[in-house]
Amino acid sequence: MNKTKWGIIGPGKIAGKFCTDLKEVKDAELYAVASRNHQKAIEFAKTHNATKAYGSYEEMLKDKDVDVVYIATPHVFHHEHTLLSLSYKKAVLCEKPFAINKSQVEEMIAAAKKENVFLMEAMWTQFLPHFEALMEIVASKKYGEINDIKADFGFSAEFNESGRLFNKALGGGSLLDIGIYPVFLALSLLGQPSTLSAKASIGKTEVDEECDITFEYPKKVTALLHSTVINNTPTTAEIEFEKASIIVNTRFHEPSSLIIISGKEETVKEFGVETNGYNFEATHVQEMLKQGRIESDKMTFEKSLQLIDLLDKVRAEIKLEY
């Protein structure tokens, strides 16, 4: 069986975790790494046993042996680097957020369709065992309908005005980096809200350091969502059903467990994931490539469009423009 040869654009911290997990993916090979800093590419390739290290993205994309590219550059470059990769007919798994706004995402999807090449947003939570189990519980109506959701994601980051979290030029702020996860959860479980409202604490670098979002749905169902890069928060999700409540333990967006409370019964569901969790999305991408698809049947283009649309609407509410 031929291996799927992966190339990496943006060899940073997240790419490092992804490459560690790629070792657990059947028929996957970390083949090439590209950085505009050639030395950084060389060091990353050595650390993760990649075959080739390139000093430019174009160089790597010209390599006919690269099957699929994982893009892990800062948010503001996702659009550019995805279009570049697609123009070389390379399949793309691009980190979240897919891009900075909906129009960019629409361009990326149009390019994938034009080139007839696979493209997916790397919303890895979608593929994690605990999340898939949660989605199955919701679909089964075992505990009735959802009444409300509360989800947060927060950590206290060291302030660095030139770092990607606080630098507006790099798409900094809590919303696009981590607020996307509570928004994704609400979208996945409840769909598009009827109305939304949001407020944020805008810091001195003009990005949202904290963001509070409320989604409202028919029948008075709500989702209360919070993100912050200046405070540590539980980073859990609580879903209240008609007949039970489910807590997704910290940190809810990565491999986790579920606590199901129904009446006087409390059940803990563990899933035994021993990796960072990136192997599940990589396995899915390879399966889609084997099937000759250009779009995931789970993290669809439509879902990515709905997600970025919500993020755009929240940004409009908090008056955050990039």
Find the Cα–Cα–Cα–Cα dihedral 183, 184, 185, 187, rounded to 10°: 90
Identify which of 93, 46, 39, 97 has the alpha carbon closest to the alpha carbon of residue 66: 93
pLDDT at 62: 98
What confidence score (pLDDT) does residue 67 get?
Answer: 98
Give the pLDDT confidence score for residue 1 in this predicted structure.
58
pLDDT for res 202: 97
pLDDT digits (tens, 9 = 90+) for 201-226: 999 999 999 999 999 999 999 999 99
Question: How far apart are the C-alpha atoms of 129 and 275, rounded to whole Å?
Answer: 12
**Can you read off the two tokens belonging to residue 291?**
């099937």
The per-residue pLDDT for 252 is 98
Spans of the chain, pLDDT less than 50: none
pLDDT at 15: 98
DSSP alpha helix (H) spans, the chain: 13-22, 38-48, 57-61, 78-87, 102-115, 129-140, 174, 180-190, 279-290, 301-317
DSSP string, 123-177: -GGGGSHHHHHHHHHHHHTTT-SEEEEEEEEE-BPPP-TTSTTT-GGGT-SHIII
Domains in the chain, CATH or no CATH each:
4-123 (3.40.50.720), 129-272 (3.30.360.10)
Best CA proximity match to 15, nearest among 30, 37, 27, 36: 30
**Residue 60 has what pLDDT?**
98
**CB-based contact 57:34 (threshold 8 Å):** yes
